[in-house]
Chain A
Amino acid sequence: MRKNKIIPLIMSLVLGVLPLLSGCGDEESDVITLRVSSWEEYIDEGDWDEDELIDLDDGTEIFGENSLVEDFEEWFYETYGKKVKVEYSTFGTNEELYNQITIGDVYDLVCPSEYMIMKMMREDMVEPYSESFKDTTDEGNYYSRGVSPYIRQVFDKLNIEGMTLTDYAAGYMWGTLGLVYNPEFVSEEEAAHWSLLQNRKFNRQLTIKDSVRDAFFAAIAINYFDDITTPEYLADPDYSDNLSKKLNLTDVETVDSVEAILTDIKNNVYAFETDAGKADMVTGKVVANEQWSGDAVYTMDQADEDGLELCYSAPEEGTNLWFDGWIMLKKGIGDDADKKMAAEAFVNFLSRPENAIRNMYYIGYTSSISGGDSDLIFEYMNWNYAAEDDEEDTVDYSVGYFFDMDDPNADENYTVTIPASQTRRQIFAQYPTKDVVDRSVVMACFDDESNIRINRMWTNVRCFDLGSIFE
């Protein structure tokens, strides 16, 4: 009888104790633990095939043998003589990351998008970068020395409640929001405007992102199309600021018009897609879809393998300039100077030109790094896109603004000769031209009241309209 009594007791004890056990980790004081969270598939995970070796014209060879995280741990030990252990985890959306953090997950370094960075700054969650990180005389500060002057300028301009983004965030990847289209069915002119999404000619053959902000941007650009494309508006010296204000309006009237436009789009598109858009473009289910530039590169690469030519357009009336950046979280870093140093070293390590290239090659997005003194990034662009010598139909493609903003002749120094078709394809998605970035705006972080209004609008668009039965 005794035996019978013990077994259930043990069972209940084991069940009760198990969760406690997992909570106890070994604390080693000489190893710095860095908890990093970033987007899924957003860093080079190594293990490249041998034929993937990148051999640039200047003789540099770049190859991803191990993951960048492992390489960082090794590099950190060699450089600083201290051991660091990176706990790398991923998230699927900015909101998911924010919810994880507010529920109690602790991270030291995370990589959300611009509006989420600003939201977290506003809520006093972000630890500023140290002065030594920004010191450009230090050879080891790969980020501050290597970040594109264009990205730096965007960061300098963006501020929230008196805090400038430059002090709190380090840019990682950036790009535009646009339309991937199949030139066999959709003309360049049709794809040049967001109104393509309302075009009944392509009824049920278009997709749009299942994301409030991305859908909102397309609709607000359609709403103010007439206002923002007049010659006077475009010629205004304050054009850039005006456009930014206009496309960030969230008043009742604007949101109501956006609701009407999105409802119309909903009745025209194939679907609001979360992830299927890329594959549906390649298989030909749809002829155009709204896409971030990095995913557009990926989509076009995939289609190329199947012998299908797809193009990318950043609509003329305005596009959304987005970026993801590394921010340190107060809750994780605390007063731990070693940890902060390791977090900044991680950002610097990823900003080394050869590592930025590994990331770009691996994930298809555009790094914020232009390389500073190093020409590697430009060499990589050449390696990637330059036309073959026997190519006949070529054009010169200049992206001086990205590499050097002070030199008026920068465009001459940073010009790649590419096949003519590329001007609407991968290189255009990865490194947009100056005129595209001139008419791009960063979508701000909305205040709570606007967020409620916009989310209610979104619910109204997506929920079932009983009235539609009687139409």
Chain B
Amino acid sequence: MKKSYFDRKLLAIPYMIFLVLFVILPLLVVIYYGFTDAQGHMSFSNFVAFFSNGRTIGTLVYSFVISLVTTTICLLIAYPIAFILAKGEYCRKHAFLMIFVLPMWINFTLRITALKEILTMLEGNLAYYPFMNTIICMVYDFLPFMIMPMYNSLTKLDDSMLEAGADLGANKMQVLIHVLLPLSIPGIISGVTMVFLPAMTNYVVLDMVYNSTYIMGSLIGSYFSSYDWNNGSVISAILLIFIGMFTIATNRLVGNTEGGRA
């Protein structure tokens, strides 16, 4: 037994090398630049600069709102679809799933370009509704990423749980709120994680629909292109802190529901 344990450990070496080279090292570089000034001295000045400028905070809020609205709409659209796909009783189920996942196979700039042309046909001039267009394109872009994890978690869900709820006298609404929703929370969380944070930095979509206001991603890009590694890195670090807080919060949430179930 001991011997086979040793073997498995060896298998992890390539992965560890990958992890160190492409995850840990870049992270350390980001943190190093974020908390040093142009001369290389330890400093919190970049951090202070970000939070003392009304405009950069404005962009943080703007990105947050775009992200929040995108995620909410994605969630509202994706959940019923994932449920029907997972639990619906109809033929050609896989064909339907394919239709929703198919866009993921096409390069996203191509997809957005196509959508942009459709929106131009409808609106005439995209520049009048930059926020709305951004949201439409973001939702279109991220929807498959929301459907897939929810579909996966819903297919695994045992139907007998729902039947038990109904047998015990709950009406359809009560089954939905007290049984189905709590049980699908892990799927919802992984869906939200895959949409919320990328949406805060996906500035290519804004560029493509002619929204000239910066979000966090474009702000980082603009600092880097003016060789300001420090201010660019501190914003990346701030986003990292966001991700960290988000992960901790969701882990708590998952922990609570699991605890509740036991």
Binding site for B on A (CB under 8 A): 1, 4-5, 8-9, 11-12, 15-16, 93, 95-96, 98-99, 102, 204-205, 210, 212, 266, 269-274, 276, 285, 451, 455, 458-460, 462-467
Q: Is the CB of B127 within 8 A of A12?
A: no
A270 close to B210 (CB less than 8 A): yes
CB-CB < 8 A to A273: which residues of B?
A: 210
Do B55 and A463 have beta carbons less than 8 Å apart? Answer: yes
Measured CB to CB, the closest approach of chain B to A85, in angstroms, equals 31
Q: How many residues of B contact A (CB 8 A)?
A: 40
Chain A contacts of B10 at CB under 8 A? 5, 8-9, 12
A213–chain B nearest beta-carbon distance, Å:
11
B3, B61, B125, B210: the one within 8 Å of A464 (CB): B61
- CB-CB under 8 A from A96, the residues of chain B are 225
Besides A1-B3, A8-B13, A9-B10, 16 new A-B residue pairs in contact (Cβ under 8 A), listed by A number? A15-B14, A95-B226, A95-B227, A99-B224, A269-B212, A270-B127, A271-B212, A455-B222, A459-B53, A459-B55, A460-B55, A462-B212, A463-B59, A463-B62, A463-B219, A464-B59
Q: B56 an interface residue at 8 Å Cβ cutoff?
A: yes
B227 CB contacts on chain A under 8 angstroms: 95, 98-99, 102
Q: Kindly identify, within residues 40 to 68 of chain B, every residue whose CB is under 8 Å from any CB belonging to chain A.
A: 53-59, 61-62
A466 contact set on B, CB distance < 8 A = 54, 57-58, 61
Contact A464 B13 (CB under 8 A): no
CA of A98 to CA of B125, assembled, Å: 37
Closest 9 CB pairs of A and B: A271-B210, A464-B62, A12-B13, A463-B55, A204-B127, A8-B10, A464-B58, A463-B59, A466-B58
Tell me, in angstroms, the Cα distance from A102 to B4 when the chains sit together.
Answer: 48
Does residue B37 face the partner (Cβ distance < 8 Å to A)? no
Whether the Cβ atoms of B225 and A270 lie closer than 8 Å is: no
Q: Which residue of B lies closest to A204 (CB)?
A: B127
Q: B16-57: which have CB < 8 Å to A? A: 17-18, 53-57
B242 at the interface (CB under 8 A from A): no
- In the bound complex, how far is the Cα of B130 from the Cα of A270, in angstroms? 10
Q: How far is the CA of A302 from the CA of B212 in the complex (A)?
A: 26
Contacting pair B57 A459 (CB below 8 A): no
| Interface assignment of B167: CB less than 8 Å from any CB of chain A | no
**Which among A16, A99, A212, A464 is the interface contact of B55 at CB below 8 angstroms?**
A464
Shortest Cβ distance from residue B137 to the other chain A in the assembled complex, whole angstroms: 14
| A11-B15 Cα distance, complex, nearest whole Å | 10
Contact A459 B222 (CB under 8 A): yes
Known: A459-B219, A462-B212. A270 touches B7 (CB 8 A): no
B218 within 8 A of A: yes
